[in-house]
Amino acid sequence: MNNQIYKKLMRRCFSLAKKSKGQNMPNPFVGAIIYDEEKKEIISEGFHKKYGFNHAERNAILNSKKDVKNKTLIVNLEPCSHFGKTPPCADLIIEKGIKKVVVALNPKVHSQGIKKLQNAGVEVIEGILEKEAKELNKVFIKNILYKKPYVMLKTAATLDSKIANEKGESKWITGELSRAYVQKLRSQYCAIMTGSGTILKDNPNLNVRIKNKISPTRIIFDPNNKVSLDYNVFKNDGVRIILINNSKIKVPDYIKKIPYDGNFDNLFKTLFKLNIYSIMVEAGRGLNSLLIKNQQIDEINHFIAPKIFGSGINFVDDIICDNIDNCIKLEDIKIKRFKDDILINAKIKKR
């Protein structure tokens, strides 16, 4: 079988997976196809619609109006081999006599599904569009490997890296199209995180201003207890609120207060236990710098506006690079244009 056909079918799996629209969390995005290689036709499709519901492979098999015996299953993630909310998909694949399974990604966490299939005589082909599969399930992979949320930093700066002028003014550095895209980004994350400095200076709402979109959890990083509860982010509007604060101040029931012990690993593991699977950071240079220095940022969306302030506030500071080879490096670079603004999307290269 030509790998180009498998790639085309795998891209279809990606499209199917995205139909869950986030209802699958904390499970991965998964789409599956049953393919008849002799007739060169798709005979069934399925995707993982919602956490606790059938997995994609099971849906594809059950949706088929034809016999799936000796057919090929295309799926973007290794079929599971364990009992969870649903029975093992690997067992069903073997039971139904599927002869071949084509997989994009084996996250090297369980790996038992592929072994079970191979031991039963099922041919398994791995690594089809693996890079794209990792991007689709970057949150799930971070969650399952490290028990921590996936963290994306969003910044908006001038050409000379200023997020505000010397008076602290920052509205608006970027244009309307860029700001609209930020709203879309917010809607894709479980939580938005900011620091006390941003709260005190801008008094933001940290919500999603898109019709029919639910605002994510608001996380306020305030370890020095600077913020009072009368700011916009603390309003009781039905949005979950987490305050990271070391004071003994009493908070209303709709605010969850957790302490900070100076260890970001511990903090993010605690947030993960609170079902925070992904975080978009929109903060000032203080929190930006802390998170970058402590290697907690996975991805950055950096907007650059065609402006030069000369003096002002950088989006990071207090990060020392005494050797060019030891600087913080970016990879998987993607560039978009929003009218006059430029967006650089990249992953932070692990050191």
CB neighbour class for 229 (10 Å; exposed up to 12, middle 13-18, buried from 19)? middle
Asked, for residue 173, whether it belongs to a domain, the answer is yes
CATH of the domain at 129: 3.40.140.10
Instruction: State yes or no: is 176 an active-site residue.
Output: no
Answer yes or no: do 48 and 116 share one domain. Answer: yes
Looking at residue 83, its pLDDT comes to 65
Looking at residue 289, its pLDDT comes to 93
Answer yes or no: do 309 and 242 share one domain. Answer: yes
Answer yes or no: do 94 and 195 share one domain. Answer: no
Asked, for residue 176, whether it belongs to a domain, the answer is yes
Nearest CA among 102, 45, 94, 108 for reference residue 76: 102
Looking at residue 148, its pLDDT comes to 97
The larger pLDDT score, comparing residue 343 to residue 325, is at: 343
Which one of 57, 78, 282, 299 is the catalytic residue? 57
Rounded CA gap, 84 and 95, in Å? 19
The tokens for 205 are 């709402």
Looking at residue 87, its pLDDT comes to 75
Looking at residue 325, its pLDDT comes to 81
Answer yes or no: do 60 and 162 share one domain. Answer: no
Q: What is the pLDDT of residues 175-215, one digit of tens each?
A: 999 999 999 999 999 999 999 999 998 899 888 988 888 88
Q: If residue 63 lies in a helix (H) or strand (E), which one and from where to where?
A: helix 56-63
Whole-model pTM: value is 0.90
DSSP 313: E
pLDDT band at 13 (very low <50, low <70, confident <90, very high): very high
pLDDT tops 60 at residue 104:
yes
pLDDT tops 90 at residue 263:
yes
pLDDT band at 109 (very low <50, low <70, confident <90, very high): low
> Final residue of a domain: which of 137, 163, 198?
137
Answer yes or no: do 244 and 171 share one domain. Answer: yes
Answer yes or no: do 81 and 170 share one domain. Answer: no
CATH of the domain at 298: 3.40.430.10
Asked, for residue 142, whether it belongs to a domain, the answer is no
Residues 196 and 227: beta-carbon distance below 8 Å = yes
Answer yes or no: do 178 and 98 share one domain. Answer: no
Answer yes or no: do 92 and 156 share one domain. Answer: no
Rounded CA gap, 234 and 254, in Å? 9
pLDDT band at 218 (very low <50, low <70, confident <90, very high): very high
Asked, for residue 340, whether it belongs to a domain, the answer is yes
Nearest CA among 109, 129, 221, 175 for reference residue 343: 175
Residues 254 and 239: beta-carbon distance below 8 Å = no
> Final residue of a domain: which of 105, 137, 169?
137
Structural domain including 321 reads: 147-348
Q: Which amino acid is at 70?
A: N
Answer yes or no: do 315 and 237 share one domain. Answer: yes
Answer yes or no: do 124 and 211 share one domain. Answer: no
Q: What is the pLDDT of residues 41-99, one digit of tens each?
A: 999 999 999 888 888 999 999 998 999 999 999 999 988 776 666 678 888 899 899 99
CA torsion through residues 12, 15, 20, 25, sign: positive
Q: What is the pLDDT of residues 20-38, one digit of tens each?
A: 888 888 889 999 999 999 9
Answer yes or no: do 162 and 285 share one domain. Answer: yes
Answer yes or no: do 277 and 165 share one domain. Answer: yes
pLDDT tops 70 at residue 110:
no
Q: What is the pLDDT of residues 124-178, one digit of tens each?
A: 999 999 999 999 999 999 999 999 999 999 999 999 989 888 887 778 889 999 9
Q: What is the pLDDT of residues 292-319, one digit of tens each?
A: 999 999 999 999 999 999 888 888 888 8
> Final residue of a domain: which of 137, 172, 191?
137
pLDDT tops 70 at residue 275:
yes
Counting the structural domains of the chain, the total is: 2
